[in-house]
Amino acid sequence: MSLEGRDIISIRDFTKAELERMLSAADLMEPLAKRGSEILKGKIMATLFFEPSTRTRLSFESAMNRLGGSSIGFAEPGGTSVQKGENLTDTIKVVENYADVLVVRHPLEGASRLAGEVANVPVINAGSGSEEHPTQAILDIYTMKREFGSIDGLKVAMVGDLRYGRTVHSLAYALSLYKNTKLFLISPELLRMRREVLEDIGKNIEVEEGRDLKKILPEVDVIYMTRIQKERFADPAEYESVKGSYRLTRADLKEAKEGAIVMHPLPRVDEVDYDVDSTVHARYFKQVWYGLLVRMGLLALVLGAV
Amino acid sequence: MSLEGRDIISIRDFTKAELERMLSAADLMEPLAKRGSEILKGKIMATLFFEPSTRTRLSFESAMNRLGGSSIGFAEPGGTSVQKGENLTDTIKVVENYADVLVVRHPLEGASRLAGEVANVPVINAGSGSEEHPTQAILDIYTMKREFGSIDGLKVAMVGDLRYGRTVHSLAYALSLYKNTKLFLISPELLRMRREVLEDIGKNIEVEEGRDLKKILPEVDVIYMTRIQKERFADPAEYESVKGSYRLTRADLKEAKEGAIVMHPLPRVDEVDYDVDSTVHARYFKQVWYGLLVRMGLLALVLGAV
Amino acid sequence: MSLEGRDIISIRDFTKAELERMLSAADLMEPLAKRGSEILKGKIMATLFFEPSTRTRLSFESAMNRLGGSSIGFAEPGGTSVQKGENLTDTIKVVENYADVLVVRHPLEGASRLAGEVANVPVINAGSGSEEHPTQAILDIYTMKREFGSIDGLKVAMVGDLRYGRTVHSLAYALSLYKNTKLFLISPELLRMRREVLEDIGKNIEVEEGRDLKKILPEVDVIYMTRIQKERFADPAEYESVKGSYRLTRADLKEAKEGAIVMHPLPRVDEVDYDVDSTVHARYFKQVWYGLLVRMGLLALVLGAV
């Protein structure tokens, strides 16, 4: 199965077989990430970040360099033609002359989709609006696969901001492609998943909502923490009242299942205590490494190198 | 004829034979732009953009990467030594130690010329002040040559802001090197070319001024549109009154000569309607590709690789 | 002796033998800097500049490119995860997955040291807080070695801001490793070296303080000028009163020793007159070249390539 020339806009655009292809491409990348390679020699990636995200940008640039390719682009929209009133379509029609693959991050929903429709070269969505951030979802699934060998049967708790965070929808979809997976949604009342989204997700995968992280800790294989942003709360007192229950500590993890792992898309603020870093459960920095492999694999796939 | 070590500051610094050499170098670049190359392997280009211009910067970086070289530089002056009071001469004397060729963009006229005089490595002007932007002029001429086979006898309409736009002077000079070319200058009264410049240009090439684009459409081979900037008009009502006549639409092009092409240095705002994009006349995105080839050719020439 | 895997945080972390190893590595780099090389092919350097410094960043990037490696990174903290509240430790634990060596510049003292302790890849300090800037000190010593053949017995005047400038401490330490060197500290009263620092330096090397540059000019081999920043003075009149005596001119240099050299870490404002540039004494632009060689050497050393 070839993914050459494909856009990576939403994880929902792909079948399970295609997702599995991406995961096995990531496997192939591990030796190349360690010793370097030239499989994309002469290829150029353009990173078009209409919204800054240093972490994601560096991950893609490192991936491209590890494959022997090179990068051009911008890290924020300041100084671009966009500020002279140019529309996104024109920008894409210009930049596609300069690169073999475009990586687009944009504050507006639908921007990466539009870029993919316009461009004659593959487009990878590095996050647009509050929509999906597909490479994050793929690296999350890849992390679980690497850590447990198989996704089937995993019990995953998503913790924190489930209302505004864009990771949960994509991940729920990806998990639903596997057998007997279960999703626990743990959040303060104010940040519960919206009713209509919950119903949509519930069609594909078993979902259980709750407020209390500690209660379900002994049950889950994956504790997926997310950042709760203070500014989401109209009343600071309300934020103060909830934040404690969603701050994971080393002490909490004594109740965790043996072999359970803690994941986080990073950056964290205080929702995962630093004393968790040295426990056997922490995987959020390993996740970064897996993310590099996944992005290497995706670049190699859409450019037809694997 | 070798252009190794030459600065590219103004198109007026070059003879017709040298310009032709640049155009044929661009021809050589097309296969390299598609499959990559290593003719500038180990070479470093420094992009010194004292004024942001993402489009031009990405074009040069892509050109360098396609030739196997690499790039360093800055995209805007913030954070540079310039802000600590350093003068341009010192900056150039430092950076020439780091690179084999310098690409300079600067808000002040004469800055690139000065850089060229100071540096021991070749300097390419990527636009300084309201002076010439020579790589734009060369790519414009190259576009015409590629599209028509020959420049001789072409009738070119420059439309829009002829008072402040820097493209027109360079292009007029370049066209004057060929036989029987003619330039139509179409602009609102307020944005007419200045008298003294007009007289200067008129020495070398037949020039006809006018206000009405539609009237000359059936006559011209090239319709070169430029952006009219609202902020040039003291009275917004005046802007509103003129802008309509300089907005090219698909309907207008029914009157155009067969084979006529529409060019634009980009970015456009609304002076070329989006419905023009799919006509047989549109060449402004193709122009971007030609621009990449021209910049590849110039880098290869001044570094002695072709 | 191998420096593979070592952090370069402070010049005080190294023995004389190790410093000599760095200087001889720089010697090896000169032919590679001229014709390019591939000894770091496939390696990635991340430049993490939490404080902008274009000059230092470009020097490192050029060094990495000349060795066949590539660079990723950020030039200023805007848009990084740091602004979302992430701490430095987390940033380092993420970025070490993307690169083989980290180059860190940070406004806070101790930041590079911390980065070195956290990272599993080598960290090079490109300046943090008012602490040492070790690659500057090494290139200063390297300049003297190249220009005089040996450091032993050199008389070096440091001129200007000795209170806030971070160069002087590192350089004093490095000089003290050699035989019979002497340091003259020439500054206005307000910018004299702090008593406790002076005592510390005085343990290792002969030091003489003074106010008058002209008086010691006939004695010294190296005149190391530094920028005096107007904003350090509470009273502008005081600044005006002193600045004249620390502005080196061509006329002043008539009193200089034969073979004496003028150095400056750059950027300069007006403390070295432009008419000095063409004298036989000026070495501040040559110093930039030596700096490139030193940084190439350090990258090659910590990555085990020489």
Out of A57, A113, A133, A169, the active site residue is: A133
- Dist. CA A74–CA B280, nearest whole Å: 32
Query: Model pTM?
Result: 0.95
Q: Does residue C3 lie within any of the structural domains? A: no
Mean pLDDT of B131-146: 93
Full domain range(s) for residue C98: 11-132+291-302
Percentage of chain B exceeding pLDDT 90: 73
Between the CA of residue B221 and those of B157, B183, C27, C126, what are the distances in Å? 8, 10, 60, 56
- If asked whether residues A45 and A153 sit together in one domain, one would say no
- If asked whether residues A259 and A297 sit together in one domain, one would say no
Chain C residues with CB-CB distance to B86 below 8 A: 266-269
Between the CA of residue A115 and those of A94, A105, B267, C260, what are the distances in Å? 12, 10, 17, 61
- If asked whether residues A16 and A104 sit together in one domain, one would say yes
Q: Does residue A4 lie within any of the structural domains? A: no
Would you write out chain C's pLDDT as a tens digit for each of its 306 residues? Answer: 899 999 999 999 999 999 999 999 999 999 999 999 999 999 999 999 999 999 999 999 999 999 999 999 999 887 555 555 578 999 999 999 999 999 999 988 899 999 999 999 999 999 988 667 899 999 999 999 999 999 999 999 999 988 877 677 788 889 999 999 999 999 988 888 888 888 888 888 999 999 999 999 999 999 999 987 777 777 888 777 777 668 899 999 999 999 999 999 999 888 999 999 999 999 999 999 999 999 999 999 999 999
Q: Which residues of C are catalytic?
A: 55-56, 84, 105, 133
* Best CA proximity match to B300, nearest among B28, B81, B15: B28
Please give the ipTM for the structure prediction: 0.94
Q: What is the per-residue pLDDT for B178?
A: 95
Total tally of structural domains belonging to chain C: 2
- If asked whether residues C150 and C61 sit together in one domain, one would say no
CATH number reported for the structural domain that contains residue C239 in this entry: 3.40.50.1370
Both tokens assigned to C242: 């002193």
Q: Does residue C174 lie within any of the structural domains? A: yes
Residue B276 backbone phi and psi in degrees, to 5: -75, -25
Option in B41, B86, B95 nearest C58 (CB):
B95
What's the count of helices (H) and strands (E) in chain A, helices before strands?
10, 9
- Dist. CA A70–CA B70, nearest whole Å: 9
- If asked whether residues A78 and A171 sit together in one domain, one would say no
Q: Does residue B2 lie within any of the structural domains? A: no
Q: Which residues of B213-239 are buried (b: 16+ CB within 10 A; e: fewer)?
A: beebbeebbbbbbbbbbeeebeeeeeb
Asked if pLDDT for residue B260 goes beyond 70, the answer is yes
* Best CA proximity match to C226, nearest among C270, C196, C289, C260: C270
- If asked whether residues A36 and A87 sit together in one domain, one would say yes
Asked if pLDDT for residue A215 goes beyond 90, the answer is yes
Q: Which chains touch C (3 or more CB pairs under 8 A)?
A: A, B
**Contact between B49 and B74 (Cβ < 8 Å):** yes
- If asked whether residues B43 and B146 sit together in one domain, one would say no
Option in B37, B62, B227 nearest A44 (CB):
B62
- Dist. CA C257–CA C220, nearest whole Å: 7
Option in B61, B68, B267 nearest A84 (CB):
B267
Q: What is the pLDDT of residues B144-183, one digit of tens each?
A: 999 999 999 999 999 998 887 767 778 888 999 999 999 9
- Dist. CA B255–CA B228, nearest whole Å: 23
Residue A62 backbone phi and psi in degrees, to 5: -60, -45
Q: What is the pLDDT of residues A175-191, one digit of tens each?
A: 999 999 999 999 988 88
Q: Would residue A281 show up in a list of annotated catalytic residues for this protein? A: no
Q: % helix / strand / coil in chain B, to the nearest 5?
A: 45, 15, 40
- If asked whether residues A35 and A167 sit together in one domain, one would say no
- Dist. CA B273–CA B262, nearest whole Å: 11
- If asked whether residues B112 and B59 sit together in one domain, one would say yes
Residues of chain A with a CB closer than 8 angstroms to some CB in chain B: 41-44, 46, 70, 72-74, 78-81, 84-86, 89-91, 93-95, 97-99
Q: What is the per-residue pLDDT for C195?
A: 86
Q: What is the per-residue pLDDT for A128?
A: 86
Out of B21, B43, B47, B56, the active site residue is: B56
Q: What is the per-residue pLDDT for B193?
A: 87
Mean pLDDT of B211-226: 95
- Dist. CA B266–CA B289, nearest whole Å: 13
Q: What is the pLDDT of residues A21-60, one digit of tens each?
A: 999 999 999 999 999 999 999 999 999 999 999 999 999 9
- If asked whether residues B45 and B63 sit together in one domain, one would say yes
- Dist. CA A137–CA A99, nearest whole Å: 25
Q: Does residue A153 lie within any of the structural domains? A: yes
Q: Does residue C77 lie within any of the structural domains? A: yes
Q: Does residue C1 lie within any of the structural domains? A: no
Q: Does residue A218 lie within any of the structural domains? A: yes
Between the CA of residue C35 and those of B5, B40, B41, C66, what are the distances in Å? 16, 11, 10, 8
- If asked whether residues A62 and A205 sit together in one domain, one would say no
Q: Would residue B105 show up in a list of annotated catalytic residues for this protein? A: yes
Asked if pLDDT for residue A261 goes beyond 60, the answer is yes
- Cis amide leading into C107 (omega within 30): no
Chain C residues with CB-CB distance to A31 below 8 A: none
Out of A47, A56, A135, A226, the active site residue is: A56
- If asked whether residues A252 and A145 sit together in one domain, one would say yes
